[in-house]
Structure formats: C-alpha cells, structure tokens
A and B are shown apart, each in its own frame.
Chain A
Amino acid sequence: MLQNIEEGTWVEIHQVILKPEGRSRHLPEDSKKVPYEMRARGILLQAARLQETAHIQTLSGRIISGKLVQVEPRYDHGFGPPVYELMHIGEEEKRMLEK
C-alpha cells in the first residue's frame, strides 16, 4: 500500500480540466486528441496517498483538489552540459577589434 503523505507537505496536484471532446474547436489535429490539463502546487491539507485525490491550499490561499502526483516537487531546470556551438563566439570578433 502506498505511504500516506503527511498533512502540511508541499505537493503538486494534477487535474484534467477539459476532456478532448470538450476543448476549443479551434485546435490543430494533435492538440485535439489530448485533454486540457492543469498542475498546481500547494500545502497538502489532509494526509493523502500518491495518485489519489487530494486537497491543497495554494500560495494565494485558494483550496483546490486534484490527483496528488508529486511530493516536494523540485525546481529541476538548470543549464546542462556545455554547448560547443556557442563556445567560440566572440574570439574572432575580439581579434577584429585588436587590429
């Protein structure tokens, strides 16, 4: 059985807002096939299990519900490895200025 996530934990919930058939009619073919989805983060208001419905309080103080999908979600975006295609930009230009 999945572990209970404690009340007061910072979590992320997921909710399908509109099913594919309920979406705007002005969509390209690929977007028509998928639902319109929402993710939001907040404080878990009542102990809950992953993948089950949970209530959270958001930073603006609203209370919303959705499927609990992440516990203590991370900010994972960064820079990544060096990009060689950018690396030598400026070298020749500096030489041009020295001439």
Chain B
Amino acid sequence: MKRFTAFTERGVDLSYPTYEEMMQRKNEIIQRSLNIDFNQFKRGTIAFDYEGMMTQAGYSMDDIIQIQRQSHVGNTPLLELKNLTELIRRISPKGKGATIVMKDEAANPSGSFKDRRASLAVHEAKRNGFAGVIAATSGNYGAAVASQAAKKGLKCIVLQETYDSRGSGQPEILEKGRKCEALGAEVIQLSVGPELFYMALLLLDQTHYFNASLYSPYAIAGVETLGYEIAQQVKEQFGREPAAVCVTHAGGGNVTGTARGLQKFGYQHTEIIGVSVDLSGLHMASDRDFNRKSFTTGHTGFSVPFTVDPDRSDVPRNAARPLRYLDRFVTVTQGEVFYATELLAKLEGLERGPAGNTSLAAALVLAQNMDQDEVLVVQETEYTGAGKHPIAQLNFAKKQGIKVIKGTPEANLPGSCIAIPEHIQQLRVSDIDLNRLRKSYLNSVLKNVHVQKLDKQDRRFLSEEINKDETYIQTYLASKSQ
C-alpha cells in the first residue's frame, strides 16, 4: 500500500480533456515537443523556406552517417536479385530486363528503414535533454523509435491504432506492438480514428517528452543516407547511376528522403518511382474498413492524401513533400505484393515482410521495359515473422470474410477480394496521373487564398512544390483568377 502511494506521488493519473481543448493547444505543444519554431520559415502568403527548414536540422550527410553508425543504423547490403532478374529477362522483349537490386533494410537494428528516421530524432531528443520520446504509429516506426530510445537510454511511449470497436486487431499491428514492448517501450493501443493525434498531444503535454514525429526535418533527413548509400553501392557494384528507384510510398518520407539522398550524391537522372498498394474505396478512419485491409502502410489511403496535402500531418510544415521528387507514381494490388513476397522467398531465398515488398512487385513489371544494362533498385525490405507474414495476413483476411483467390490482379477489390497472381506474367502496375495530383495539390493549398496576393516567393515555392516550371504555375493561377 505504501508503494502505491509513493507511485501516485511521482506519477499522475491521466484526466482526459475534451477533443477541442486539446486541439486548441496543438501549436504550443508541437513547438515545445519538437524544439522547432516553424514560424521562422514562413515566407510570402503561402510559402515557406523548405530548404532552410531542412538545413536547420543542422546535420550534414557526414554527421548523419556518423550518428547512424554509432547506433548500428544503415550501411545495409545491396543485394543483386539474379534469379528474379533472369526470370524477368525470360519474359521481356529482346534486350530488355533491367538488373533488379534490393536494399536490404531489414538488416537495420529493428528490422526496417524506419531506424534511419528514428535515429536522428532520438539523437536530437537526447542532445536537448529530453527524458523520453513519443511516436504515434502503427507501423515499423514504433519499433524503430523504441530501439533507438533503448540504445540512448531514453524512455519511450508508442501510440498505436490497433483495434476496431470489437477489440479485433490486425496480426501485423499486434506484432509491432509486441516488438515495441520487447524493446522496452510502453505501448498505448487505441481504437480506430484520427484521435490518435489527440492522444499523442495529451501524452506529449503530460510527459514533456520529445515528439518523434515521422514528418519532422530529423525524420526525413535520416532517410537521406538511404538514397546516398544506394547511389554509392550501385556505383561501386555496377559503375553507373541507377536508372530508377522503386520506393514504397505512404506518408511521403521514404520518397522524399531517398530522392534527396540521391541528389546529394550528385545523381540527377535516377527516376524516382513511388509505389503504393491500391486500397481505393476503403476509408482510413472507418471502424469497419480498418480490418478489411491487409496492409497497414505503403498504401493509397496514406499516399494519395499526403501527396496532395502534405501539411495534413502532425507538424505545421511536413518535411516529407513527395510531389517535389516523384517522377512516376504507380499502384499494385495486395495480391501482387503477396505473390512478390513468396517469389522472393522461393527464388532468392529471402524471406522478408510484405509491406517492404510493395516496390518489388512494381519492379518485377517495370524492369521488363528497361534495357538489360540498366539497374533498377528496390529500395527497402522489412523484417518478417509471426503476424507480419502473408500467411498470417491472409488467414486474418479470410476471417474478416474477405475472399482470397488465385487470379489476375483485375479481380482484386480492396476490402472484398484478394486475388493472388498464378503467374509472373499476370503482374502489372497502374499509373496514377501525377498532373492530376499536382492540380489537387494546388487546389488544396490555394483553397482560401486570393491568388492576386501571391508574390514571387509564393510562385517559386509552388513551382518547387509540384516540380513544374513557373510558367505552369502562372498559367494555373491565370485560370483561377478568371
């Protein structure tokens, strides 16, 4: 009894403010918990100094590499997938079939590239004297933050969207929760909804821990080493610049950091191809739809909204800005990713997690139209195991009443049917029109803005944001002001 009293003196039980009360204090809490004053980057009417924000993080490429080496992050192998390449050459037109290589990010301490994102954030937390870190994520990022916090001796709390209202949770998310606890983190499991952000604010406010947001400049700068290493390794192993890099695309951090790393190496011509699992028709905040998807990340439910409106994230200015870097954006089906995952195991002897294989599924198609002397990079893998495996995910899908069949990708219907290809030649990708997304971005950012008020800085900012020249912006603005 005495022990209990002592604990209550030290810790305070949570009382829950209303949703509105918490949201009103959003800016104050975010600023304090990230140690960044976002107002200093504001320019013109809508613009902000993106590069200024990224360099304010204050770490050079050498610094980041150093910090990551100290915490065992990065320097992962680049594996040449010789059997898959040969298979693709058998079905490609003459002279086609690029060499497919895969960056084995599962070799990072917690089993995914997310360790790169976590490493710099946790380093920054430690450097600034924070006692702990908080991350809101159902993905690999939670384990990455937990792992880095363990290494640095910081407390860690991970908030997960885990259960639907029946208390049923996806095996993949339950596994990620287990992993966070194994690494010493407190895991708060929540039901479905955007109130995850409310809970994150509440805990940041209560604990005064560092906000290891996925979208801070630190989280994105940490991924730059991934692009940089790819550039170095492809140069060393093949003596050339990669023709294309397939990047699994969700919130945009993977695309942004990887592309920036390639650019920092000096590569300007590598095509950046974002790849997402098509989950169209499923609502991300829906209690019912939550367990009707087999992928918890790398899907269109995140990638499309975050591409057209990056600042919808949990920080005032998102450091992940995929439209600046994407050259192409394609989708694949859930069934194709499961197929690619199995094929990687059976032909290359590499058992890796499904979400990381989203870009592999696309690469198996895209390599068929690239020259044989070109190199196509699959930019990540992730760990696999109980819950986080095609068998676990498909058994769970079947329990939810989802039909699992063998068939062509056209038979896939998110939330109703998963069709697993029977043959390599059935794989295909669907292009998402980037120009349509650019227009959506402009519509979204200019929604409540008088276009006459935009100055030169604003126009240049918009041009950089969507990777189009200023004439394109001027034409668009002229059509808007009519």
- Chain B 1-29, CB-CB to A under 8 Å as 1, else 0, gives 10110011011111010110000000000
Interface string of B341-360 (1 = CB under 8 A from A): 01101110000000000000
CB neighbours (8 Å) of B171 from chain A are 77-78
The answer to whether B191 and A34 touch across the interface, beta carbons within 8 angstroms, is yes
Write the nearest CB–CB distance from B321 to chain A, whole angstroms: 23
User: Are A64 and B391 within 8 A (Cβ)?
Assistant: no
Does A3 have its Cβ within 8 Å of any Cβ on chain B? no
Residues of B within 8 A of A36 (CB): 190-191, 193, 195
**Shortest beta-carbon distance from B212 to chain A in Å:** 13
Stretch at the interface among B93-101, B112-120, B382-390: B382-390
Asked whether, in the complex, the Cβ of B181 is within 8 Å of the Cβ of A59, the reply is: yes
With known contacts A39-B163, A61-B155, A85-B405, A26–B395 Cβ distance under 8 A: no
Name the residue on A nearest B169 (C-beta): A77
Indicate if A96 sits at the interface (CB-CB under 8 A).
yes
Residue of B nearest to A45 (CB): B4
* A45, B87: Cβ atoms closer than 8 Å: no
Interface set, chain B 180-199, CB cutoff 8 A to A: 181, 184-195, 198-199
Determine the chain A residues whose CB is within 8 A of the CB of B199 once the complex forms. Answer: 17, 38
Distance in Å: Cβ of A83 to nearest Cβ of chain B: 5
Interface residue stretch chosen among B46-54, B61-69, B213-221, B282-290: B282-290
- Given A80-B392, A83-B390, CB of A60 within 8 Å of CB of B190: no
B151: interface (CB < 8 Å): no
Contact yes or no, A79 B191, CB < 8 A: no
Q: Are A39 and B194 in contact (CB under 8 A)?
A: no
Q: Is B156 an interface position by the 8 A CB rule?
A: yes
Name the interface residues of A34-84: CB closer than 8 Å to any CB of B: 34-42, 45-46, 55, 57-65, 75-83
Asked whether B157 is an interface residue with its Cβ less than 8 Å from the other chain, the reply is yes
Given contacts A64-B13, A65-B13, contact A97 B83 (CB under 8 A): yes
* B165 within 8 A of partner (CB): yes
CB <8 Å contact, B181 and A41: yes
- The reply to whether B193 and A63 contact each other, CB–CB distance below 8 Å, is no
For B347, the chain A residues whose CB sits under 8 A away are 90, 93-94, 97
Cross-chain pair count, CB within 8 angstroms? 181
Task: Indicate if the CB atoms of A31 and B1 lie closer than 8 Å.
Answer: no
In angstroms, Cα B16 to Cα A65, docked, is: 12
- Does any Cβ of A come within 8 Å of B420's Cβ? yes
CB of B195 within 8 A of CB of A63, answer no
A39 to B313, CA, bound (A): 24
**Closest residue of B by beta carbon distance from A34:** B165
Complex Cα spacing A92 to B422, Å: 9
| B-side contacts of A77, CB under 8 Å | 171, 174-175, 178, 386-387, 392
The verdict on B74 contacting chain A, using a C-beta distance below 8 Å, is: no
Residues of chain A with a CB closer than 8 A to B342's CB = 86, 89-90
B11 and A61 contact, CB distance less than 8 A: yes
Residues of B within 8 Å of A41, CB to CB, are 181, 187
Q: What residues of chain A lie closer than 8 Å to B192, measured between beta carbons? A: 31
Residues of A within 8 A of B445 (CB): none
- Min C-beta distance of A89 to chain B, whole Å: 4
Identity of the chain B residue whose Cβ is nearest the Cβ of A60 in the assembled complex: B186
CA of A79 to CA of B385, assembled, Å? 8
Report chain A residues within 8 Å CB of B406. Answer: 85
Inter-chain CA distance A46–B13, complex, in Å, is: 14
Q: Are A83 and B87 in contact (CB-based, < 8 A)?
A: no
Q: With a CB–CB cut-off of 8 A, which chain A residues contact B339? A: 89
Nearest A residue to B185, CB-CB: A59
**In the assembled complex, which residues on chain A have CB atoms less than 8 Å from the CB atom of B198?**
17-18, 24
In the docked arrangement, what's the CA distance between A76 and B173, Å?
Answer: 12
Instruction: Closest A residue to B396 by CB, please name it.
Output: A80
Given known contacts A45-B7, A46-B1, A97-B90, is B184 in contact with A59 (CB within 8 Å)? yes
B387-403 at interface with A (beta carbon < 8 Å): 387, 389-392, 394-396
Cβ A79 vs Cβ B389 within 8 A: yes
Question: B404 within 8 Å of A by Cβ?
Answer: yes
In the docked arrangement, what's the CA distance between A7 and B7, Å?
A: 13
Check A90–B13 contact: CB distance below 8 A.
Answer: no
Residues of A within 8 A of B165 (CB): 34-35, 37
B13, B18, B404: the one within 8 Å of A22 (CB): B18
> How many Å from the CB of B326 to the closest CB on chain A?
27
Asked whether A34 lies within 8 Å of B387 as measured between CB atoms, the reply is: no
Q: Which residue of B lies closest to A99 (CB)?
A: B90
**Closest-CB distance, A72 to chain B (whole angstroms):** 14
When A75-B178, A86-B390, A93-B346 are in contact, do A63 and B395 touch as well, CB less than 8 Å? Answer: no
Known A-B contacts A30-B286, A79-B386; A86 and B12 likewise in contact (beta carbons under 8 Å): no
Q: Can you list 8 contacts pairing A with B, beta carbon distance less than 8 Å?
A: A17-B16, A18-B19, A37-B191, A78-B386, A86-B338, A89-B339, A90-B343, A92-B423
A sample of 16 more A-B contacts (CB under 8 A), given A41-B187, A79-B392, is: A28-B286, A30-B288, A31-B285, A37-B190, A38-B190, A39-B189, A45-B7, A59-B184, A59-B185, A65-B13, A75-B178, A77-B387, A78-B171, A78-B392, A83-B390, A90-B346
Chain B residues at the A interface, C-beta cutoff of 8 Å: 1, 3-4, 7-8, 10-14, 16, 18-19, 83, 86-87, 90-91, 132, 155-157, 162-163, 165, 171, 174-175, 178, 181, 184-195, 198-199, 207, 283, 285-289, 338-339, 342-343, 345-347, 386-387, 389-392, 394-396, 404-406, 420, 423-424
